[in-house]
Amino acid sequence: MKLTFHGGAKMVTGANYLLESGEKKILIDCGLHQGGNFCEKHNWEPFPYDSKEISAVFITHAHIDHTGRLPKLIKEGFKGKVYSTPPTRDFAKELLLDSEHLLFQEAERLKRPPLYGVREVEELMANWEGVEYHKKIAVGPFSATFYNAGHILGSSFILVEAENKKIIFSGDLGNSPAPIIGVRESYPDDIDYCLIESTYGDRVHEDVASRKEIVEDLIEDTIKTGGTLMIPAFAMERTQELLFELNELAENGRIPRAPIFIDSPLAIKLTEVYKKYPQYFDSETREMIKRGDSIFSFPGLKMTFTTEQSKAINDVPPPKIIIAGSGMSHGGRILHHERRYLSDSKSMLLIIGYQANGSLGRQILDGAKSVKIFGEEVPVRCRVEAIGGYSAHADQPQLLEWLKPMRTTLKKAFIIQGEESSSAALAQKIKDELAIDVLIPELGQKVEL
Question: Are 86 and 59 a contacting pair, CB within 8 Å?
Answer: no
Whether 79 and 180 map to the same domain: the answer is yes
Query: pLDDT-derived band of residue 289, with 50, 70 and 90 as boundaries?
Result: confident
Tens of pLDDT, residue by residue over 211-220, are 888 999 999 9
Boundary residue ending a domain (374, 390, 406): 390
Structure confidence at residue 102 (pLDDT): 81
Do residues 190 and 307 share a domain? no
Residue 105 scores a pLDDT above 90: no
Shared-domain flag, residues 261 and 178: no
Share of the chain above pLDDT 90, in %: 77
**Segment 87-102 mean pLDDT:** 94
- Upstream peptide bond of 177 is cis (omega within 30 degrees of 0): yes
Q: Are 288 and 161 in contact (CB under 8 A)?
A: no
Torsion sign, CA atoms 202, 208, 214, 215: positive
pLDDT of amino acid 39: 60
Same domain, 344 and 437: no
Query: Which region among 6-20, 205-219, 332-346 has the lowest average model confidence (pLDDT)?
Result: 205-219
Q: Which of 80-84, 326-330, 383-387 has the highest mean pLDDT?
A: 80-84
> Which of the listed residues 390, 415, 437 is the one where a domain comes to its end?
390
Q: For the purposes of burial, counting CB atoms within 10 Å of the CB of 349, is it exposed (0-12), middle (13-18) or buried (19 or more)? A: buried
CA dihedral 190→194→199→202, nearest 10 degrees, is 70
pLDDT at 36 over 80: no
pLDDT band of 95, cuts 50, 70, 90: very high
Mean pLDDT of 137-162: 97
What is the number of other CB atoms lying within 10 angstroms of the CB of residue 280?
A: 21
Element (H, E) at 433: none
Mean pLDDT for the chain overall = 93
Alpha helices, H only, 15-162: 64-67, 70-75, 86-110, 118-126
Question: Could you give the count of Cα atoms lying within 13 Å of 449 in the half-sphere of its Cβ?
Answer: 28
User: Stretch 27-44: mean pLDDT, rounded?
Assistant: 83
> Are residues 382 and 272 part of one domain?
yes
pLDDT 10s digits, 229-244 = 999 998 888 899 899 9
Give residue 316's pLDDT: 97
Total domains in the fold of the chain: 2
Q: Taking a C-beta distance cutoff of 8 angstroms, is the pair 56, 139 a contact?
A: yes
From the list 262, 76, 286, 318, the residue with the least C-alpha distance to 182 is 286
DSSP symbol at 434:
I
Asked if residue 253 and residue 192 are part of one domain, the reply reads no
Instruction: Give the pLDDT confidence score for residue 308 in this predicted structure.
Output: 97
Q: What is the CATH number of the domain that holds 437?
A: 3.60.15.10
Give the domain CATH number at 340.
Answer: 3.40.50.10890
pLDDT at site 356 = 80
Mean pLDDT across the stretch 9-16?
Answer: 93
Q: Domain ends where: 357, 373, 390?
A: 390
Domain match, 166 and 275 both: no
pLDDT at position 38: 63
* Residues 47, 133 share a domain: yes
Full domain range(s) for residue 413: 2-203+392-448
- The answer to whether residues 139 and 24 touch, using CB atoms and an 8 Å cutoff, is yes
Q: Is there a contact between 63 and 127 (Cβ–Cβ < 8 Å)? A: no
Statement to judge: residues 432 and 320 lie in one domain = no
Shared domain for 401 and 339, answered yes or no, is no
Mean pLDDT of 194-211: 87
Regarding whether 349 and 214 lie in a shared domain, the answer is: yes
* Domain match, 212 and 170 both: no
